[in-house]
Amino acid sequence: MTTLRLRPLSAPAAALGGLFALALAGGAQDALDGEAIVRRADRDHRSKDERGVVEMVLVAEGSPPQRREMEVLSKTGQGEDDMNMMRFLSPPNVRGTAVLTVEATGRADDQWVYLPALKKSKRIATGQRKERFSGTDFTYEDLRTEDFSRTSYKLDGEAQVQTEKDGPQIACHVVEATPKDADASGYSKRRLFVDKARFLILKVEYFDKQGRHQKTWTGRDFAQVDGLWRPGQSMMEDHLRNTKTVMRFTERKINPGLPDATFTEAALERGL
């Protein structure tokens, strides 16, 4: 739902991903409702397909940082349903571990995880999508883009967001997103902070079932790649566990022409 995707929605994506990718005149902006704002953020920054390589650092209090490298592939599918695959390239203990997400409007997505030690893929059950992907701060649920058919959106005011340490405050719409089926999500709600000028999702706050602010995804170093805005870095921070996953893109290609066969269970099991 963020962010980890190559465009700045991965979530959550994001994550990974999606890890793990996202100006109207003032009067026109005032007329937009919450869903329209998020749909425009999705539409304005959508590519046909993408490939990227991400450097990832897992940080936990009292433990040395864990460094990983991951390839992220994504493709726009039918309607609002996209496909993505995320595969670890290093270190050796996770190399080849991968997850494939094929989104499905109106029902649970199809997801599989590939574990090299087993040399086969395993379908991720709906109840497992609230679990973390390979020790990161992203759950399997976070690895899809926005699910408009199963989410309600409400404009919840405005806020200033600072994405860079010494950068300016950016005026944002704040959109509250809640699952239509509470049992289908590990979150009670999310709050999306959307740049009013560029319609970029700069930050997403996640709230657990008890209403606690559990996690925050933040995008940084935004730049245009082949005319589309993308974050050069991002971070998912878990405030309850005191952990965070930091990602930096070292390679990124917009519209490389990935075939549909890239996003199949057979391709997942072929490994590296």
CATH code assigned at 143: 2.50.20.10
Q: What whole-number distance in Å separates Cα of residue 171 and Cα of residue 159?
A: 6
92 phi, psi to nearest 5 deg: -60, -30
Report the domain count for the chain.
Answer: 1
Q: What whole-number distance in Å separates Cα of residue 151 and Cα of residue 155?
A: 13
Burial of 78 (0-12, 13-18, 19+ CB in 10 A): exposed
Give the model's confidence band at 252: pLDDT under 50 very low, under 70 low, under 90 confident, else very high: very high
pLDDT digits (tens, 9 = 90+) for 69-89: 999 999 998 777 899 999 999
94 phi, psi to nearest 5 deg: -125, -5
Report yes or no on 5 lying in a domain.
no
pTM: 0.88
pLDDT digits (tens, 9 = 90+) for 84-124: 999 999 999 999 999 999 988 777 789 999 999 988 999 99
Q: What is the DSSP string of 92-114?
A: TTTTT-EEEEE--TTSPPEEEEE
| CB contact at 8 A, 12 and 186 | no
Angle ∠(191,254,130) on CA atoms, nearest 5: 35
Report yes or no on 1 lying in a domain.
no
Domain boundaries, position 110: 26-270
